[in-house]
Structure formats: C-alpha cells, structure tokens
Amino acid sequence: FPRARALLRDAARAFGPKEPAARARCILAEAEIALVSRDLGGSTTALAAARAVLAAHGDRANAAHAGYLEARRLLLIGRLDEAEATLRELSFEALPQASRTGYWLVAAGIAMRRIRAEPARAALDEAEHAACRTGIPALAAEVERAARALAAPAAILVARAESRPAGLAEIEALIASDTFVVDACRNVVRAGAAIFPFAGRPVLFALARTLAAAWPADVSREELVACAFRAREADESHRARLRVEIGRLRKMLGLIAGLHATRRGFALRPHGRRSVAVLAPPVEGDHADVLALLADGEAWSSSALALALGVSPRTVQRALEALAEAGKVESFGRGRACRWMAPNVPGFPTSLLLPAPPAHG
C-alpha cells in the first residue's frame, strides 16, 4: 500500500495544475487505498476538494464515488450523523454500479449501528441486488458477510438472572419498550425515552449492571464491592465507599428507579411496573472494544483504531500489545506501515454495538 500511494502522489504531481481532473482522480484513488488499509486519520480536505473538482469537470461518477468513500470512512470511525448526511448529498444515480453496492452496505451499517433492523435488512437487500448486477464475486461475498452479521446475535440479553443471545430486531424492540435496560454495549441506562450515559463512570455503571442482572433479587454488599472496586474482601473503607457510590447512583437514576437497602445489600426497584434487562456484548473481557473493530477481518493501524474508539493512540497500543501477548491479534509491517488483525474472533458479529454517544446515533 505505501508503494501504491507513493506512485499515485507522483502521478498527481506529474499531471500538474493544467490537468486538475486527472490530479483529482489520483487523489481519489489514494483515498480508496487509505480506506482499504484502514489509514483513517488523514485530513479529508484533499478528498473534498477533489470531489468538487470532479463535479465541476462533469465527472459525476467519480465525484459520487468520492462521497461514498467519505461516508464509509465516517461510518468506520462512528460518526453516523455525518455518514448519513454524506450519503444523502451524493448522487446515487451517478455512482458506478460497483459503488452502489458499497453505498447500500454503508446504509446498512448505519442502520445496524443505530439498532434499526428493518432499514438494515432493506439496505442489504438492495446491496445484494446491486452486487448481482456487477457480477463481481468479491462484492457478493462482502454483502453475504454483512447479512451474516445482521443475522448473528448482536448482544447477550440478561433478564431475571438468565442470559441468552439476542438479535438486532429483539434488541430494537427491547429498547423501544418501557423496560429498564442497562446497556453494557454502549454504557448507558435506558428506560423508554430516558437515556442516562455512564461514560467515564465505570464504578457507577458496574453497580447498575450488577443490580440489574440480579433483579428482582438483591445483591450482597460483598458482591457489589467485588464488582465495583475489584476487592476480594469488603472492609469498612470499602463499605463506606459503597454507600457513597450507591448514593450517587440513586441520585442519577432517581427519575426511573430506586435503590433500596436490604439486610444483606441493595436491590434495584424500577418505578412503575417496569421489568429489568441487561444488554451485554457478545464477547467480553479486556480490550473487547478493540477486538470488535478488528473482527471485520481487515488490517487496521493503531491510529485508526484510536480514532474509531475515541481514545489516545497510546491506550490502543497498550491494548494491542496485551492482545498480541494473549495470541488474539497479529501485526505485520513496521512503523507507520504497521497493521493489526484478529485472525479469528468468535462471537463478534460486527462492531455494530460499539459504544457511541447517543447524540451521534
């Protein structure tokens, strides 16, 4: 990939300012290579400028293709609103036939990340038809992978101390209901239209999740201390801290639930007649969010992973090193050309339920 990008840059310089459309096509080709190689951190200014040049010179097909590439990049890094807006702006009729398959795959990906099963299924049907018209086996295979991801369990549903896999449609129905849901896929608590984000509050979220998983039973103080503070034994300092954190959680969720003290611990009591459920990722453990992104089978750079997860590159690098030691990921290349892959991540359908701020989809 680095060699191909270098050749394209040389070609763009060789065309010179008198051939802006040709230069723009080189920039477009380089952007496509960057997307395939998961080099997502670069500026999009050049691609946007190339898109404008191509449109001005009547190359509607490549201008539309540039918009599709940008939408796909935005989807990969979780900027769903912008990805959707970019799809709306481009001219679908101007897209090359192969790019139309990609267009519908992006639309399906947005719907899946937003937990909308029917729009996702409809977009995949369109993608399948578009892929069939191209006769390109690789496109048909990509659509098939996306369809398998949609059909696969998207989360583990825990209710009344029992757990089972749940598909996207079931999760969508659950979230649309009045159920008190602790969503460990996105680190939020939901109840109807009310959404309470817990980003940056791991202790409070651990307490909420543990109490919800045990509902309608209570949870002992020892178990709450162990899950929230990772302490093997609860001493008086832990008990005091637990009281403080329970007070904070009670205040945070006061509109939709109460936390009642019992003889041995605490119990969650949703207001009204709400039932309680927990949504957990299909596979959990240290650095599961990194594995979820790598589950697409592509080779990612650490900077692209950091961008998609909204964390520092150093945080991602530490996670990758730990996963590599455990034999869960592999790397190839050196320096800026280093890429990471997960050869096999059983249980991950896609990254469709990665944590994302509710305001952005």
- 3-state SS string for the chain: CHHHHHHHHHHHHHHCCCCHHHHHHHHHHHHHHHHHCCCCCCCCHHHHHHHHHHHHCCCHHHHHHHHHHHHHHHHHCCCHHHHHHHHHHCCHHHCCHHHHHHHHHHHHHHHHHCCCHHHHHHHHHHHHHHHHHHCCHHHHHHHHHHHHHHHCCCEEEEECCEEEEECHHHHHHHHHCCCEEEECCCCEEEECCEEEECCCCHHHHHHHHHHHHHCCCCEEHHHHHHHHHCCCCCCHHHHHHHHHHHHHHHHHCCCCEEEEECCCEEEEEECCCCCEEEEECCCCCCCHHHHHHHCCCCCECHHHHHHHHCCCHHHHHHHHHHHHHCCCCEEECCHHHCEEECCCCCCCCCCCCCCCCHHHC
Answer yes or no: do 20 and 144 share one domain: yes
Residue 351, domain member (yes or no): no
Expressed as residue numbers, the domain containing 240 is 156-168+198-278
User: Do 58 and 121 fall into the same domain?
Assistant: yes
> Which CATH number characterizes residue 79's domain?
1.25.40
Choose the final residue of a domain: 87, 118, 151: 151
- Same domain (yes/no): 211, 335: no
The CATH number covering residue 209 comes to 1.10.10
Residue 183 belongs to some domain of the structure:
no
Last residue of a domain, one of 234, 253, 278: 278
Domain finish residue from 234, 252, 278: 278
Write out the chain's pLDDT in tens, 361 residues: 667 777 887 787 888 788 999 988 988 888 888 887 777 776 678 888 888 999 999 999 999 999 999 999 888 888 899 999 999 998 899 998 889 999 999 999 999 989 999 999 999 999 999 999 999 999 999 899 899 889 988 899 999 888 999 999 999 999 999 999 999 988 999 998 899 999 889 999 999 999 999 999 999 999 999 888 877 676 788 889 999 999 999 999 999 999 999 999 999 999 988 899 999 988 777 788 888 888 777 788 888 888 888 888 899 999 998 988 888 888 888 877 788 888 754 444 444 434 343 444 4
Q: What is the CATH number of the domain that holds 318?
A: 1.10.10.10
